[in-house]
């Protein structure tokens, strides 16, 4: 079978015989792959003009709903991918990470749409006041880049590696060209075929290259984004491509790193943390046969516990059955191919020149349900390095397989220094129940790691573990790990958008952002805003309320109702040395009274008030002062119906500007209301 590339809306088999792809278990040829004949320049331009145009015209909410629909579609068809995944050498548990973990990223970024407006762009951060009188302000908006995300992925996660990135760029409004590692591209191709069959993505949103993508970087442009996952050496070569440099193209690199796990001094044998540590290290050595960019390569333990850790880990690894992942009881499958086995063997032999193997053998191990000579099998290899400050190859050389090294430390400073000697990693972890120790370690080590997990009995049941990047947390790391960052929730989406500073009057920036800017023009209407349906409200619609003169009785009554008898409100003799001139009204009284002034009490389109944002009390309110409210439509957020019977509605944010008799603002807040729509379809 010859794999096909998906380019410019068509399935295209490359010219020539193609590169053979092998079953990691049996050694049989599964398929061949070739990209000969593809025009990479035309593919990128097709993505920009066809996919990009459509995605940019969709709002964040529309893109998010698209991701959810796609995730549901793929989840219903997930089982078909498992049979093919076994051929990559993955067990069912390994495949779950790749297949359902990948689909989970689509769900996660679909849900993230609620943190964005129902617009094609995003208003970022707070307004910056740029003038004394308030007539000149600044803000930031973020718009989708008008290019393509080119994803060059690794062989170890053919599905997750694609979906964890494309979920982010699609939510941002940017199309993708995906280049999986050819050795396992048959699984990526199967997923892309199903995505295409769904018809959910717009044309040009996703293209696939199964064969070589050599030369594709010759065609990238300044609005494109390139991401790379794989070896640091390959990443550095790609990052230095003249086109990347000349066009100043964002290049996000996530490279394999020498991740470490530290056993806290308190986590001695017999403690829950010691057992959790052994379990976690053993799992990270054997999941995906250790072929994970986040796998634990360096096991850093107190000097007097080296032997205990060695024995416990040896026992755990001895219980790991190696073989065909489809056979009952097999817990570790094969590496992706014999090329990977040869590379790992070479690295182990190099490491063994400075340290000793204490568990496992490169040649002598049993395989269940398969022919060891035909498949890409390897035993877990556990090593010990007694002098990690002198024998430093372990901090510079990675065996990308089920290989890890125990090394001792005497002080926390030494433990931190050993983690730093890896020169930057994607993840570091520590097993400890001492929170002071956890704090000190984290603050000292954080600069060298993209993520730190503190593992203990309190979080163990729900912890996703050392090696699991989470969709809404940043994944990446400094130094050897590439210096990049992907996923990370809204942070990741921003990677595919251009942040632009905008300047002008509050009224102008209100129009540009579709978010009311303080000091902008207000539209006073005869009809109270609480009498208007969602569609009828416009940004800037304002109610100027009646006024109320605050009295001492108001302060006393509010104290009685609320129980807030703070001295500044109740004891005029205690104000010396404070900023207050006399008894001051409670801030929450001011806000509560404001609600009494701006609320229209009769039943209408407003269904409920469900939140309060950005509440600030900016000036003391004393008895005798008179307050009023400027109540303005600040922002509108559409909501989809959850069911046929659900009420069609949207969220409206109102700016509550409470001012005194001089016209000066004394309190500012944003309230969130749920408002019914006229159209109930």
C-alpha span between 198 and 502 (Å, rounded): 40
Which pLDDT value is given to residue 680? Answer: 78
| 486 within some domain | no
Which pLDDT value is given to residue 509? Answer: 95
Q: What is the CATH number of the domain that holds 90?
A: 3.40.605.10
H helices present in 488-586, as ranges: 490-494, 506-513, 552-562, 567-570
Which pLDDT value is given to residue 41? Answer: 94
Q: Contact at 8 Å (CB) between 123 and 203? A: no
Pair (227, 265) in one structural domain: no
| 3 within some domain | no
Determine the average pLDDT of the residues in 278-307: 94
C-alpha span between 300 and 264 (Å, rounded): 9
Pair (252, 285) in one structural domain: no
Which pLDDT value is given to residue 230? Answer: 84
Which pLDDT value is given to residue 469? Answer: 83
Pair (456, 526) in one structural domain: no
Q: What is the CATH number of the domain that holds 275?
A: 3.40.309.10
Which pLDDT value is given to residue 73? Answer: 96
Pair (278, 216) in one structural domain: no
Pair (291, 224) in one structural domain: no
Res. 154: pLDDT tops 90: no
Pair (531, 446) in one structural domain: no
- The tens digit of pLDDT for each residue in 502-519 reads 999 999 999 999 999 999
Q: What is the CATH number of the domain that holds 631?
A: 3.10.129.10
Pair (74, 89) in one structural domain: yes
| 21 within some domain | no
Mean of all residue pLDDT scores within the chain: 93
The reported pTM is 0.89
C-alpha span between 143 and 123 (Å, rounded): 9
Categorize the per-residue pLDDT at 473 as very low, low, confident or very high, splitting at 50, 70 and 90: confident
- The tens digit of pLDDT for each residue in 208-252 reads 999 988 899 999 999 999 999 888 888 888 989 999 999 999 998
Pair (73, 126) in one structural domain: yes
Range of the domain at 605: 522-676
Active site residue ranges = 254, 293
- The tens digit of pLDDT for each residue in 390-402 reads 999 999 999 999 9
For residue 192, give Cα distances in angstroms to 74, 80, 141, 187, 195: 10, 13, 33, 9, 5
- The tens digit of pLDDT for each residue in 522-576 reads 999 888 999 999 999 999 999 999 999 999 999 999 999 999 999 889 888 888 8
| 513 within some domain | no
Q: How many domains does the chain have?
A: 3
Buried b (16+ CB within 10 A) or exposed e, 136-164: bbebbbbbbbbbbbbbbbbbbbbbbbbbb
Q: Contact at 8 Å (CB) between 622 and 637? A: no
What's phi and psi for 616, nearest 5 deg? -135, 135
Pair (252, 264) in one structural domain: no
| 9 within some domain | no
Q: Helix or strand or coil: residue 574?
A: helix
H helices present in 200-337, as ranges: 232-239, 242-246, 272-286, 306-318
Pair (247, 265) in one structural domain: no
Which pLDDT value is given to residue 601? Answer: 87
- The tens digit of pLDDT for each residue in 113-132 reads 988 988 999 999 889 999 98
Categorize the per-residue pLDDT at 136 as very low, low, confident or very high, splitting at 50, 70 and 90: very high
Which pLDDT value is given to residue 511? Answer: 94
**HSE (CB half, 13 Å, CA atoms) of 296?**
33
Pair (290, 301) in one structural domain: yes
- Six-digit token pair at 529? 């805003």
Which pLDDT value is given to residue 498? Answer: 95
Determine the average pLDDT of the residues in 14-32: 90
| 515 within some domain | no
Determine the average pLDDT of the residues in 39-68: 95
Which pLDDT value is given to residue 72? Answer: 96
- The tens digit of pLDDT for each residue in 439-464 reads 999 999 999 999 999 999 999 998 98
Categorize the per-residue pLDDT at 351 as very low, low, confident or very high, splitting at 50, 70 and 90: very high
In the DSSP assignment, the letter for residue 115 is: G
Determine the average pLDDT of the residues in 616-627: 94
Pair (304, 416) in one structural domain: yes
| 184 within some domain | yes
**β-bridge partners, 129:** 137
Residue scoring higher pLDDT (199 or 469): 199
Determine the average pLDDT of the residues in 40-48: 96
């Amino acid at each position: 079978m010859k794999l096909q590339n998906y380019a410019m809306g068509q399935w295209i088999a490359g010219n020539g015989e193609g590169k053979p792809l092998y079953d990691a278990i049996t050694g049989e040829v599964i398929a061949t792959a070739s990209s000969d004949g593809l025009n990479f320049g035309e593919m990128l331009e097709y993505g920009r003009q066809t996919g990009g145009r459509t995605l940019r015209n969709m709002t964040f909410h529309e893109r998010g709903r698209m991701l959810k629909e796609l995730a549901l579609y793929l989840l219903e068809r997930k089982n078909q991918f498992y049979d093919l995944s076994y051929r990559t050498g993955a067990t069912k548990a390994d495949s779950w990470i790749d297949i359902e973990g990948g689909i989970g990223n689509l769900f996660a970024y679909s849900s993230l749409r609620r943190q964005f407006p129902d617009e094609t762009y995003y208003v970022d951060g707070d307004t910056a006041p740029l003038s004394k009188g308030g007539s000149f302000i600044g803000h930031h908006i973020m718009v989708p880049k008008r290019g393509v995300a080119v994803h060059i992925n690794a062989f170890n996660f053919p599905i997750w590696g694609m979906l964890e990135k494309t979920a982010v760029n699609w939510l941002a409004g940017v199309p993708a060209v995906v280049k999986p590692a050819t050795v396992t591209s048959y699984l990526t191709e199967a997923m892309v075929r199903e995505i295409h069959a769904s018809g959910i993505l717009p044309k040009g949103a996703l293209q696939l290259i199964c064969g070589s993508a050599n030369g594709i970087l010759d065609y990238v442009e300044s609005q494109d984004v390139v991401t790379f996952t794989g070896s640091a050496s390959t990443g550095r070569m790609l990052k230095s491509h003249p086109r990347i440099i000349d066009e100043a193209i964002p290049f996000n690199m996530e490279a394999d790193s020498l991740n470490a796990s530290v056993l806290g001094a308190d986590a001695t044998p017999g403690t829950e943390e010691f057992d959790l540590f052994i379990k976690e290290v053993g799992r990270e050595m054997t999941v995906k046969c250790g072929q994970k960019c986040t796998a634990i390569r360096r096991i850093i333990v107190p000097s007097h516990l080296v032997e205990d850790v060695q024995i416990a880990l040896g026992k755990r690894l001895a219980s790991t059955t190696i073989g065909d992942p489809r056979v009952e009881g097999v817990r570790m499958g094969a590496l992706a191919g014999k090329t990977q086995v040869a590379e790992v063997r070479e690295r182990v032999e190099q490491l063994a020149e400075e340290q000793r193997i204490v568990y496992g053998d490169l040649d002598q191990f049993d395989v269940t349900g398969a022919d060891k000579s035909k498949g890409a099998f390897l035993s877990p290899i556990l090593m010990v390095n007694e002098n990690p400050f002198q024998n430093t190859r372990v901090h510079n050389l990675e065996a990308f397989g089920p290989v890890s090294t125990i090394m001792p430390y005497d002080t926390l400073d030494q433990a931190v220094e050993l983690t730093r000697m890896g020169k930057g990693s994607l993840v570091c972890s520590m097993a400890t129940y001492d929170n002071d120790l956890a704090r000190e370690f984290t603050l000292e080590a954080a600069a060298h790691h993209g993520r730190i997990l503190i593992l203990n009995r309190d979080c163990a049941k729900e912890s996703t573990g050392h090696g699991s990047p989470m969709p809404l947390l940043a994944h990446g790391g400094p130094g050897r790990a590439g210096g990049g960052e992907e996923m990370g929730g809204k942070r990741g989406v921003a990677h595919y958008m251009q942040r632009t500073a905008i300047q002008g009057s509050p009224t102008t920036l209100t129009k540009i952002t579709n978010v009311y800017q303080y000091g902008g023009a207000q539209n006073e209407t005869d009809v109270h805003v609480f009498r208007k349906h969602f569609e009828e409200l416009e940004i800037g619609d304002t109610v100027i309320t009646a006024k109320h003169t605050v009295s001492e009785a108001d302060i006393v009554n509010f104290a009685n109702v609320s129980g807030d008898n703070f001295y500044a409100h109740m004891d005029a003799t205690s104000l010396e040395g404070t900023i207050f001139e006399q008894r001051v009204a409670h801030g929450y009284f001011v806000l509560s009274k404001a609600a009494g002034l701006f609320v229209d009490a009769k039943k209408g389109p407003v269904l409920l008030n469900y939140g309060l944002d950005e509440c600030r009390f900016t000036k003391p309110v004393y008895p005798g002062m008179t307050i009023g409210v400027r109540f303005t439509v600040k922002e509108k957020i559409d909501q989809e119906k959850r069911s046929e019977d659900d009420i069609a509605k949207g969220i409206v944010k109102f700016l509550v500007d409470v001012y005194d008799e001089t016209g000066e603002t004394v309190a500012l807040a944003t309230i969130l209301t749920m408002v019914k729509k006229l159209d109930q379809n």
